[in-house]
Amino acid sequence: MKQIKTAVVTGGAGGIGGEIIRTLTGEGWRVASIDCKYKEIKRSGAVAEFAGDIAEQADLEAFAEFVGAEFAEGVGLLVNNAMSSAGGILGGCSFDDFGRALRVGVVAPYYLTKLLLPVFKPGASVINIASTRAFMSQAGTESYSAAKGGISALTHALAASLAGRGIRVNAISPGWIENGTSAEHSPSDKAQHTGGRIGEPGDIARAVLFLADPRNGFINAQNIVIDGGMTKLMIYHNDHGWEYKPQNV
């Protein structure tokens, strides 16, 4: 089956989304992206940018029409990457704040996938960017963790529903990823990872390229964790330079 090298990426203005776009275009893909940080509709080379807020139904519907016009040959890949966080229960996260986080992180991926059903080609791939926060948390991350847990579950549900249309659905759960910053990391930061370093956006972008390849079509309904082994490494008090310091809650 010939690959349709047209992709839709949400949240493409920077960080992991921006790196996914650079990686795809470097491999000959054409990309349409939506982000609330874009100022206008703009086409530059292989990338078409659409200014919009995926938390808003009207913006998603307008973007889907835009994608249909851009890619008359159909869509081969959708990457649901965009996300926002509103903190948690002890930090002032309101009803509306929590609801928006879920609209961006769960509702929008569901609805955009639904809107694009008429233009997906057989063999198309949907990749949801989840997070290891779906399985582990820090205090104050309820909105983000709930959304990432939701998109993890949405992944296998969509895979079951869309299997008959030849559309694969998988998720990638990044761990600690530095989004293009020059942050300094201590030896104990690095030692929390069996891989010995902090993750980079390219680690996620290359996995997207791998999952999108139809030669890897036997991978379906999966959530692939890319975290340098952090969620598998047990660290106790005084291990790897880490010291437990209790805090008053």
Q: Which domains does the chain have, with CATH numbers?
A: 6-232 (3.40.50.720)
pLDDT band, residue 195 (cuts 50/70/90): confident
Q: Does residue 204 register a pLDDT over 60?
A: yes
Q: Is the pTM of this model over 0.85?
A: yes
Encode pLDDT of 62-92 as tens digits: 999 999 999 999 999 999 999 989 999 999 9
Task: Quote the pLDDT of residue 91.
Answer: 93
Encode pLDDT of 137-188 as tens digits: 999 999 999 999 999 999 999 999 999 999 999 999 998 898 866 677 878 7
**Residue that the structure tokens 């275009």 belong to:** 25
3-state helix, strand, coil in the chain (%, to 5): 40, 20, 40
Task: Quote the pLDDT of residue 180.
Answer: 66
**Distance separating alpha carbons of residues 145 and 233, to the nearest angstrom:** 20
**Distance separating alpha carbons of residues 133 and 130, to the nearest angstrom:** 8
CB 5 within 8 A of CB 76: yes
**Distance separating alpha carbons of residues 197 and 227, to the nearest angstrom:** 10
- Nearest residue to 233 (alpha-carbon basis) of 221, 225, 222: 225
Encode pLDDT of 93-120 as tens digits: 999 999 999 999 999 999 999 999 999 9
Q: Which residues are catalytic?
A: 144
pLDDT band, residue 132 (cuts 50/70/90): very high
User: CB 66: neighbour CB atoms within 10 A?
Assistant: 17
Summarize the confidence of residues 50-67 as an average pLDDT.
98
**Region of residue 74 (left: phi > 0; alpha: psi -120 to 50; beta: else):** left
Mean residue pLDDT across the chain: 93
